[in-house]
Structure 1
Amino acid sequence: MDHSNHVRLTDAELTADILTDATIYGPDDEDIGSVSHVHGSGNTAQIVIDVGGFLGIGAKPVAVPCGQLDFMRDEDGEVHAVTTWTKDQLKAMPEHVDD
């Protein structure tokens, strides 16, 4: 997927309502997970990504800083993000547990 024509989200758009369920793409446009939920808002939010699993079953939640993801909308208005992390790198992170 060519992300060069996609519109980057503004800080004001980095909210749970907009980001939840967004697909996360890693290097080589590999689908590496999806946004489970968000703690906070804007560029300082913590994004919880479900990595691995199938249809949400067996996925491991990991938390990453929002600033490490590049959120955008495609031509159809679908929100997604790209990152330099691979699925294996995310799986190696500590599991996120909500307090």
Structure 2
Amino acid sequence: MDHSNHVRLTASELSPAILEGATVYGADDDKIGTVDHIDGASGRVVIDVGGFLGIGSKPVAVPMTELDFMRDDDGDVHAVTTWTKDQLKELPEHLD
């Protein structure tokens, strides 16, 4: 997917209501996870990684600055990061 024409979200759009459920694409433009929620206490984004249809996925937390949130041509919100799925799987599980 070519993200160069996608519109970056503004700071005011970086809210849980907009970001939760967004697909996260990794370094090779592979789908690597989905935004589960924003951890308000730490300001980190919790991403569900791995699993199948939400079963067996592992929640991991990364700094919001590690993700570039944008809207595609259809208006769908997604994020791009330099992380790979394997790198995220190696992170400790995020526990609320």
* Fold similarity call, TM over 0.5: yes
Tell whether 2:79 aligns with 1:81.
yes
Q: 1:15-65 CA deviation, whole Å, 9 max, x = no partner?
A: 10000000000012100000001123xxx8310000000010000000011
Counterpart in the other structure of 1:26? 26
Distance in 2 between the 1:10 and 1:39 partners?
A: 19
- The count of residues paired between Structure 1 and Structure 2 equals 95
Residues 1-99 of structure 1 correspond to what in structure 2 (within 5 A)?
Answer: 1-40=1-40, 45-98=43-96
Distance in 1 between the 2:34 and 2:44 partners?
A: 14
Distance in 2 between the 1:28 and 1:39 partners?
A: 26
Distance in 2 between the 1:28 and 1:64 partners?
A: 18
TM-score (structure 1 length as normaliser): 0.93
Distance in 2 between the 1:11 and 1:64 partners?
A: 18
Distance in 2 between the 1:49 and 1:16 partners?
A: 13
Distance in 2 between the 1:10 and 1:54 partners?
A: 31
5+ residue gaps, structure 1, are none
Distance in 1 between the 2:58 and 2:39 partners?
A: 17
Identity value in percent: 71
What value does the CA root-mean-square deviation take over the aligned residues? Answer: 1.0
Instruction: Point out the structure with the larger helix share.
Output: 1
